[in-house]
Amino acid sequence: MSRKAKRAAETKVKNRPIRKLLIVAILLGLVYMVLKLAPNYINDDITNMANLVINNSNITRDLKHEVIIENGVIYLSQEDIENFFDPYIYYGEQYNQIITTSDNQIASIVIGENSITNNGTKVSISGAAFEKDGTIYIPFSNLDSVYNVEINYIDSSNTITVDSRNRKYVLADSTKDNKVKAYPTTFSRTVDELTQGETFTVVQNDENQNEEIDGWTEIRTDTGKLGYIKSNTVTHEYVAREELVDKKQIEGTVSMVWDYYHSIFPDRTGTHIDGINVVSPTFFTLVDEGRGAINDNAGEQGKSYVEWAHSNGYMVWPSISNNSYIETTSEIMHDYNLRNTLIQNIVSLVLEYDLDGINIDFEYMHDEDKDLFSRFIIELKPRLNEMGVVLSVDVTAPDGSDEWSLCYDRHVIGDVADYIVFMAYDQYGSSSTVPGTTAGYNWVEANIQKFLGQEEVEADKIILGIPFYAWVWDTTNGVSTPRAIYMENLESLIPEGTEKVWNEELKQYYVEFTNGNTTTQIWLEDEQSIEAKLSLIEKYGLAGAAYWAKDREPDSIWSMISETLGV
């Protein structure tokens, strides 16, 4: 062998490992590319059942039960409607009916009947709710007005699209023939195709902006398919429907005073109260054993009161009290028809007196009626919403007695109502066996934290109830007796020269004096104690304050409230 041939053979032998390494590297690269790109080409479409696309999100895999389509009617299970449309949908065994609510609609559907009663009006529908294998199916496509949605069934793709009418809806055209990709990358499978000029829906993100990723825009085609096209191929974009945003009746802090009267109507003619924007006169009470009837204490004087309030710029949210009629309340709560009667009576009073809101003040209820009271609030809210009327609900502090505290589901009430009013008083009161403060700052703050924590109530839903009175405790021979005294009269009870001691924990003055064999103790409610409690509103971002009750306070309190709350 020549020297040249020998060198060539030696070089070939030396390069053989390098070539092997290159081949291995190329193979590994190909494997990597396959592993990286293969998921983009996997077809994971659900084809064995109808797909459900809600507000441009395919939720078919999250359904608990199949979608049933019969005779052109689309049926969803009660569980799936609860999951995606109405968390408080309810089956009432008493009348064998489904009760479902939305922002401003309440509908009842008797199982097996081709009708629906919507906000008190009964109409015929094409489908009927039915039970199958222990699951209740509801004619969802007949409830488009209840849930305020547009429902379309696309036969070619076996897809149902549902679009909320209060959400932003954007359309656009394609500048060219387009392949709609499953993912925002060219190396992805095609889920649908567009022709030049074809219109499609542009998916919006949570900020109501186009859902764009690295130059790709997410869209929905007219077959209901979701995917991506290049953003530079999107043209003629326009907003077909703007988002509907609910405006609060009161922008800023709520400052409400209850205007209590029993037999003598409060004449406010020619007066103005600084520092408030809501009045809550005690116009209405339940009729004992009235099966949903309401005792109207307003009349023509009430109409004049409302005119006075509106002329001063105040909203009018009268209270409806159950007068602690525990059995009457229980009877109503246990019967949908009686709840509906009560709700219809409330609606009629709202219309008659031109009211801006309703304050539900139901106290002393059976703790086992807790969920049914929540049902009442759930069913009342849409009827008031329909009229633009505010719903506030009074509750006591958590963790108390069965019939005064444990009878409320504060989380549900706070979620459904516009406001939940924490009556932050009677820490020690008429039922207490030992003397104590009416509303100590530390107790009020601790319970606010319970509302926000264990009760999971949003801060901007909570109105803090403030007492314009204090319990005065007289102890004789070891027996303590409380008496409620208006705040404006407390100072007159204190003998001249009695020392007031400030309690920083309670943020109140304490006084104690003796008359004969009776010792009197007072934890004072005054401007300083009220101002301290009002400071918790800003500290925790609460909705505002409410005061029990008008004409129990010194006039000077209102300027402090106005300055503290900025009302």
pLDDT digits (tens, 9 = 90+) for 428-439: 999 998 999 999
195: enclosing H helix or E strand: none
> What CATH number labels 254-565?
3.20.20.80
> What CATH number labels 170-241?
2.30.30.40
Distance between CA atoms of residues 366 and 368, nearest Å:
5
pLDDT digits (tens, 9 = 90+) for 132-149: 999 999 999 999 999 999
pLDDT band of 1, cuts 50, 70, 90 = low
Query: In the prediction, which pLDDT does 109 show?
Result: 97
Please give the residue that has the higher pLDDT: either 457 or 12.
Answer: 457
Distance between CA atoms of residues 544 and 466, nearest Å:
10
pLDDT digits (tens, 9 = 90+) for 261-286: 887 888 999 999 999 999 999 999 99
Task: Specify whether domain 51-151 bears CATH 3.30.457.10.
Answer: yes
Q: What is the DSSP letter of 50?
A: -
Decide if pLDDT at 502 tops 70.
Answer: yes
Please give the residue that has the higher pLDDT: either 38 or 345.
Answer: 345
Q: What is the 3-state secondary structure (H, E, C) of 424-461?
A: CCCCCCCCCCCCCCCCCHHHHHHHHHHHHCCCCCCHHH
pLDDT band of 246, cuts 50, 70, 90 = confident
Identify the three-state secondary structure at position 380: helix
pTM summary value: 0.91
Distance between CA atoms of residues 395 and 202, nearest Å:
45
pLDDT digits (tens, 9 = 90+) for 456-498: 999 999 999 999 999 999 999 999 999 999 999 999 999 999 9
Distance between CA atoms of residues 455 and 3, nearest Å:
93
Decide if pLDDT at 8 tops 90.
Answer: no
Query: In the prediction, which pLDDT does 264 show?
Result: 85
Q: How far is CA 460 from CA 148, 456, 510, 539, in A?
A: 26, 12, 32, 12
Angle at 85 between CA 84 and CA 89, to 5 degrees: 110
Please give the residue that has the higher pLDDT: either 337 or 37.
Answer: 337
pLDDT band of 211, cuts 50, 70, 90 = confident
pLDDT band of 7, cuts 50, 70, 90 = low
- Interacting residues of 2 by C-beta distance below 8 A, sequence separation 6+: none
Decide if pLDDT at 29 tops 70.
Answer: no
Query: In the prediction, which pLDDT does 441 show?
Result: 98
pLDDT band of 41, cuts 50, 70, 90 = low
Query: In the prediction, which pLDDT does 467 show?
Result: 98
